[in-house]
């Protein structure tokens, strides 16, 4: 299956990479795959091949660019190149490219059910992991709170999933608001 090849391609980009988020990215991918499979069971009209292949390719550009650049753009380019190298049909490449490019609901919005599933699975993975706590000690508490709001907004693309995750969103919101706004490097050395 093409999604198996996409998974191998993604993992090959992680091998030998010393990027600080490498382990988090692998954990994140596992959670996005899990959410994607859960959502696919509820949305039988979605194309599983397009959805899973998109999931495996949605963050492939993350390690190739600086942190504050939009990795969805780099991931789309890399996904197109990879799929073309596999002889994948051009119409399916376009569908996957749309999913990958729109998964952040930033400048391109998800228009297909597969793109919506990827965007929701990606955001749901943040709510069901410790990513916010990992980021909170960066000293960017306001950014983390805004990210939580964006994730919850994006999950709203599929109202059934939003309803399911609302209690978790509310818990994160409360926790992050009261969590100390410390930068780990400002705390000092441990004796």
Q: Output the DSSP codes for 13-43.
A: HHTT---TTHHHHHHHHHHHHHHHHHHHHH-
Which pLDDT score, from 0 to 100, does residue 24 have? 83
* 172 occurs within a structural domain: yes
Counting the structural domains of the chain, the total is: 1
Left, alpha or beta for 39 (phi > 0: left; psi -120 to 50: alpha)? Answer: alpha
Q: Does residue 89 lie within any of the structural domains?
A: yes
Q: Is residue 143 part of a domain?
A: yes
pLDDT for position 186: 64
Answer yes or no: is 161 within a domain: yes
CATH number of residue 109's parent domain: 1.10.3210.10
Neighbouring-strand partners of residue 183: 138
* Residue 132, in any domain of the structure: yes
Per-residue confidence in pLDDT tens, the chain, 191 aa: 999 999 999 988 888 776 667 788 899 999 999 999 999 999 999 999 999 999 999 999 988 777 777 788 899 999 999 999 999 999 999 999 999 999 999 999 999 999 999 999 999 999 999 888 878 877 788 889 999 999 999 999 999 999 999 999 999 999 998 987 766 666 666 65
- Residue 123, domain member (yes or no): yes
Identify whether 187 is part of a domain.
no
Check residue 188 and give its pLDDT: 61
Residue 125: partners with Cβ closer than 8 Å, 6 or more residues away: 28, 31, 32, 34, 35, 131
Q: Look at residue 189 and tell me if it is in a domain.
A: no
Q: What are residue 183's phi and psi, to 5 degrees?
A: -95, 125
- pLDDT score at 191: 55
Task: Give me the domain span that covers residue 63.
Answer: 2-182
Residue 160 confidence (pLDDT): 96
Cβ-contact 59, 13 below 8 angstroms: no
Output b/e per residue, 129-139; b: 16+ Cβ within 10 A: bebbeebbbee
């Amino acid at each position: 299956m093409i999604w198996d090849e996409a998974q191998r391609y993604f993992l090959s980009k992680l091998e030998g990479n010393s990027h600080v988020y490498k382990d988090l990215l692998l954990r994140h991918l596992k959670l996005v795959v899990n959410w994607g499979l859960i959502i696919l069971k509820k949305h039988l009209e979605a194309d599983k091949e397009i959805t899973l292949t998109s999931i495996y390719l949605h963050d492939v550009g993350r390690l190739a660019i600086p942190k504050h650049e939009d990795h969805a753009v780099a991931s789309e380019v890399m996904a197109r190149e990879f799929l073309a190298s596999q002889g994948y049909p051009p119409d399916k490449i376009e569908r996957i490219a749309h999913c990958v490019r729109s998964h952040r609901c930033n400048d391109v919005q998800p228009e297909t059910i597969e793109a919506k599933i990827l965007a929701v699975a990606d955001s749901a993975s943040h709510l069901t992991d410790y990513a916010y706590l990992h980021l909170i000690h960066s000293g960017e508490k306001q950014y983390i709170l805004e990210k939580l709001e964006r994730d919850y907004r994006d999950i709203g693309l599929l109202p059934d999933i939003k309803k399911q995750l609302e209690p978790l969103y509310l818990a994160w919101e409360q926790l992050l608001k009261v969590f100390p706004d410390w930068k780990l490097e400002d705390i000092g050395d441990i004796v």
